[in-house]
Amino acid sequence: MSGNTALEADDDLPVVCPHCLTSNAIGQHFCRRCGTPLTGLAVTDPLGQVYSEGDALRKAIDKPDRPLILVGMWLMWGPTFLACLVLIGWFVVAVSTEPFGPPGAPNVWEAVGLVALFVLFVVGLAVISGTMLFRTTRNYARLRRARRDKSRRQRG
């Protein structure tokens, strides 16, 4: 069909992406370069919605240009991160006070399996939420510093 020719004929494409300014064909729901949603339809169908939210999350992490984004990220992932830390802390205490594994586990290997599963899940979740919070906060601080430097340069 016309899919290939549409990609090649750059200048004829009428829809300009608001994010990266790449031109896209009419009817294309996402920017072919950066994946930004281009149409309302992109957000109404379920898969598009997931994609758009992923896109919004990616942008929120990479470029948190409003304080609200930072607050939102902490509200969304802060409790998860804290809960994981509490669970890990409890786990460390439990392991160091009791001989091994959760109480009542019938044999050592079952206990090992449970512990491995727990560690994998909780530590994984802690790493994911912690990384997201860390990156958002760091990028936010960077963005603010850059903005402050810029306005200082303009004044002086």
CA distance linking residue 37 with residue 53, whole number of Å: 10
CA 96/CA 101 separation, integer angstroms: 10
Pick the binder of Zn ion from 16, 20, 26, 127 (CB under 5 A): 20
In the numeric block, which tokens belong to residue 153?
A: 């340069």
Please identify, among the stretches 12-20, 47-55, 58-66, 87-95, the one whose residues bind Zn ion according to the rule CB under 5 A.
12-20
The interface region with Zn ion, picked from 2-10, 26-34, 42-50, 78-86 by CB under 5 A, is: 26-34
**Alpha-carbon torsion 101, 104, 108, 111, what sign?**
negative
Q: What are phi and psi of 32, to 5 degrees?
A: -75, -15
From 9-17, 47-55, 68-76, 120-128, give the range in contact with Zn ion by CB under 5 A.
9-17
Residue closer to Zn ion, measured from CB, 36 or 136: 36
Q: Which is nearer to Zn ion, 22 or 137 (CB)?
A: 22
70-109 positions binding Zn ion, by CB under 5 A:
none
| CA distance linking residue 71 with residue 58, whole number of Å | 16
End-to-end CA gap in the chain: 57
The CA distance from 10 to 7, in Å, is: 7
In the numeric block, the tokens 């994946």 are attached to 35
Size of the residue set binding Zn ion (CB under 5 A) = 8
Binding to Zn ion (CB under 5 A): which residues in 32-71?
A: 33-34, 36
**Which of 6, 19, 74, 88 touches Zn ion by CB under 5 A?**
19
For Zn ion, which is the closer residue by CB, 18 or 67?
Answer: 18
**Binding interface with Zn ion (CB under 5 A):** 17, 19-20, 22, 31, 33-34, 36
